[in-house]
Structure 1
């Protein structure tokens, strides 16, 4: 059985490592942020500790055989409910997959800390942070820019909706990856609409811009790429 200091040290390390990943998500204003990641990491560490050391007093009894990996395995599958809550789905737009993956990974970090695998836990945290914070600028520069196109419209208040955009695009067209509507800073009666589209050729994109600019209520096609 581990001593109290070692138990508390593992829980504290889990909270620290979880906070590193959680802070990166909190910085981007995701629902699953700092506290959520810390709680997941500490909770999975506690479950791992209970699984590995919580039944030491009954192991000496006759016909008692325990598998310390069973409770840990339940964390891997059970964390899915939090992952589902981190994913936001609006029509055909799915967001939050990366945050759901980070929650699942943080649970693994907690299990590693609970099992005393400090090097693996710290190393995994560092790699996760590089993936979340370091790879994203590269992804935006070299991948997302080539795959996505955006259109900015100025429209009458409430006239342009996600459904109306889908109707204008028609069946079999490119997917809407992002749809953001904000009140125009220049005119409170107008909406500034940003529409992110999946990959399209120059010809396809030109046709799409023409269709969207011709939608009822659209005043101006501001800019696009």
Structure 2
């Protein structure tokens, strides 16, 4: 059965930002619908930092068949041999993109053709997710502050919207984002650390959070005024409702 294309864009969170809080990572694993999914980590935005790769394996190896892709190492990463990178990515259940510099990430992906490989994986139904740079990359436009003051970046365009991560953690970024939307940037979402937005195809399916107060916010220009509206956000740590009592 064909799977619906899905992207989960974290504002910030997951194993690299929330030690001891697995809620977002558990959430994306669950979306695969596989008991032991194939999960590939893509740490391009960090320059394939060794410590980042090690932390990924420590987090996921007990629950998933793990691999990673390196564009800055001769070995190309575990499970992704030269000439077979696309086949490897298309064979995954979940592709998890790490944080760092989205400018470096996009440049490296385009140079190696990884941008098109990921587009094919998305269309096939491989779940795509990531935080920070690994969240910004999927959108048509986004705001990065990795290299200094916030600046506008053109992404892969799988999602025809804009995105601003670390929305509550870096207030200057959120201020600049609202200004950019007012100046003509596509409407989109500002996403707090600990929150994530999930898309089915190109439509928002839901917003979720690993922290009780984390939110996503819709930001758009309405009648020449930038409007920010909180999106209903489901806290993943909330207890399940008690089953209804059956009359005796």
Output the TM-score relative to the length of structure 1: 0.23
Higher relative contact order (CA 8 A, sep 6+): 2
Q: Which has the larger radius of gyration?
A: 1
Q: Which has the higher strand share?
A: 2
Q: Which has the higher helix share?
A: 1
